């Protein structure tokens, strides 16, 4: 029972911004949006999370729509090392668990 929908794959040119969409139309008021990524053969890495406001850190920006039914992760200047599977996850603040779906495989090309 996936709570999020992501495209299975996308390509991005090195040095350009990568915009990764995620739909979460059934998100509830207590649920945050989290983004993780998994580089091949490594454990997942936390990127960013948000509730309703847009967020930015040293890795990425997270844009959440006003109705919170969708969000976009922005990698401002993609590099080859950003090639990974990116997971958009909706998590309840009162829960201990995160459910990882299939994610989006992002390939950054030179």
Partner 1 sequence: SQTIHQWPATLVQPVGSPLSLECTVEGTSNPNLYWYRQAAGRGLQLLFYSVGIGQISSEVPQNLSASRPQDRQFILSSKKLLLSDSGFYLCAWSILGQLQETQYFGPGTRLLVL
Helix%, strand%, coil% for the chain, nearest 5: 5, 50, 50
Contacts with partner 1 in 13-52 (CB under 8 A)? Answer: 32, 34, 36, 41-46, 49
DSSP of 27-57: --TTEEEEEEEE-TTS--EEEEEESSS-EE-
Is residue 61 involved in binding partner 1 (CB under 8 A)? no
Contacting range for partner 1; rule: CB under 8 A; set: 10-18, 55-63, 65-73, 89-97: 89-97
Q: Which residue number, 97 or 110, has a Cβ lying nearer to partner 1? A: 97
Q: For binding to partner 1 (CB under 8 A), which residues are involved?
A: 32, 34, 36, 41-46, 49, 87, 91, 93-103
């Amino acid at each position: 029972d996936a709570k999020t929908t992501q495209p299975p794959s996308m390509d991005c040119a090195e040095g350009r911004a990568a915009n990764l969409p995620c739909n979460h139309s059934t998100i509830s008021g207590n649920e945050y949006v989290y983004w993780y990524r998994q580089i091949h053969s490594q454990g997942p890495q936390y990127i960013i999370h948000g509730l309703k406001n847009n967020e930015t850190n040293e890795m990425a920006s997270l844009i959440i729509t006003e109705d919170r039914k969708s969000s976009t992760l922005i990698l401002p200047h993609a590099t080859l090392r950003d090639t990974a599977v990116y997971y958009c996850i909706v998590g309840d603040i009162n829960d201990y668990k995160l459910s990882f779906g299939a994610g989006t495989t992002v390939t950054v090309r030179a």
